[in-house]
Amino acid sequence: MFIYAHRGASALAPENTLLALRTAISQQADGIEFDVFQHQNEFILIHDRWLHRTTNGIGNIDSLLLEQIRKLDAGAGETVPTLFEALQCIGPSCQINIELKGVRDVPLLLRYVQDACKTLSIPRTHILYSSFDHHLLKAIKAISKNTRIGALTANKPLDYARFAEDLQAEFINADVTFVDKNFVYDAKQRGLKMGVYTVDQPEDLLRLKSWGVDAVFCNNPLNARLALADLTSD
C-alpha cells in the first residue's frame, strides 16, 4: 500500500512547509501530499483560506500581499512556500499530490507546474492533482486528458465511486471515516485506485490494506510503514 505524507510529514513538522516536505523525503514516503491556494499569479502551500491557524498572520490570504504572506512564520521559523519551492524541494524523489484548495486559473496552474517540472526534471507521471472541487478536476481533464487526477470525497455517495469514474480520475480519495469494503469494491470495479485519508491508526492501516486500498495519506509516514510491517508479520 502506497504511503503519502499528508501535508508533508505533518505530525513531525509544521504542515505544508518545506521542513514537512523534507522530513517526508527523509522518511522515504512513497509520495507527498500538500495543499495549494492561488494568490494572484502565484500558488502557495497552505491548507486554510484564513492565516491564523497555521501562521502568525491574521486575515485571509487575499487580504495580504504575497510579500507579506512570505514574511509570516508558518511554524518553527518556516515560511509559507511557493508551489515552485515545494516542487524544487521534492524534485524527482517521489510522487507528488497537489491538492487544489483555492485555485481560480486552472490553465495558469497547469502551465506553472509543467514549466517547473521541466526545469526540475520531475516526470509528469509523478504529479497527481486532487480536489474536493470537482469542477476544477473537470477543467484539468478538459485541458489535458492525460493529466492524472484524484477525486476527493468526504462522503460515501449513494452511487459510491461513480462520480470519480465520470471525471476520468485515476484515484478516488475518501475520508477514512466513511470507507468500507463496499466502497473499495465499487471503486475497484470501476477501474479506479482507492486512496484513504487521514490514516494514522495501525488497526485502520491493516484493515484498509486487507480491503485492497491502494494508498493512504498519513501524518507520520514512517510510523505507518512500521505499523504495517509489524501488523502484517503477526
User: E strand or H helix at 127, and its extent?
Assistant: strand 127-131
What gap in Å lies between CA 125 and CA 134, rounded to an integer?
A: 21
78 touches, from Ca ion, ligand G3P, none (C-beta below 5 to 8 Å by class):
none
Alpha-carbon span 195 to 149, nearest angstrom: 12
Give the shortest CB-136-to-Ca ion separation in angstroms.
14
Distance CA 11, CA 181 (A): 28
Which does residue 131 bind out of Ca ion, ligand G3P, none, counting CB within 5 to 8 angstroms by kind?
none
Question: How do 42-45 and 31-39 pair as beta strands?
Answer: antiparallel
The one of Ca ion, ligand G3P, none whose footprint includes residue 112, by CB under 5 to 8 A per kind, is none
Task: Tell me the β-bridge partners of 172.
Answer: 151, 194
Q: Which of 23, 173, 220, 223 binds ligand G3P (CB under 6 A)?
A: 173
Q: Does 129 bind ligand G3P (CB under 6 A)?
A: no
**From candidates 15, 99, 200, 204, binder to Ca ion by CB under 5 A:** 99
Find the binding residues for ligand G3P in span 43-82 (CB under 6 A): 47
* Residue 171 contacts which entry, Ca ion, ligand G3P, none (Cβ below 5-8 A, type-dependent): none
Q: Is 33 in the site for ligand G3P (CB under 6 A)?
A: yes
User: HSE of 222 in the Cβ direction (CA atoms, 13 Å)?
Assistant: 11
Answer yes or no whether residue 15 interacts with Ca ion by CB under 5 A: no
What whole-number distance in Å separates Cα of residue 226 and Cα of residue 117?
31
Residue pointed to by grid coordinates 495558469:
108
- Cell output for 168: 476520468
Q: Compare residues 43 and 197 and give the one whose CB is closer to ligand G3P.
A: 197
Nearer residue to ligand G3P within complex by CB, 99 or 165? 99
Which of 64/176 has CB closer to ligand G3P? 176
DSSP H helical ranges for 44-172: 66-70, 83-90, 106-120, 134-143, 162-166
Neighbours of 111 (CB within 10 A): 12
Among 29, 32, 35, 122, the residue binding Ca ion under the rule CB under 5 A is 35
Cell (9 digits) for 141: 481533464
CB nearer ligand G3P, residue 16 or residue 223: 16
When asked if residue 152 is in the footprint of ligand G3P (CB under 6 A), the reply is: yes
Cell numbers 490494506 label which residue? 209
Least separation in angstroms between residue 198's CB and ligand G3P is 6
Neighbours of 173 (CB within 10 A): 29
How many residues in the shown chain lie near ligand G3P by CB under 6 A? Answer: 10
Interface contacts to ligand G3P, rule CB under 6 A: 6, 33, 35, 47, 99, 130, 152, 173, 197, 217
Chain residues binding Ca ion by CB under 5 A are 35, 99
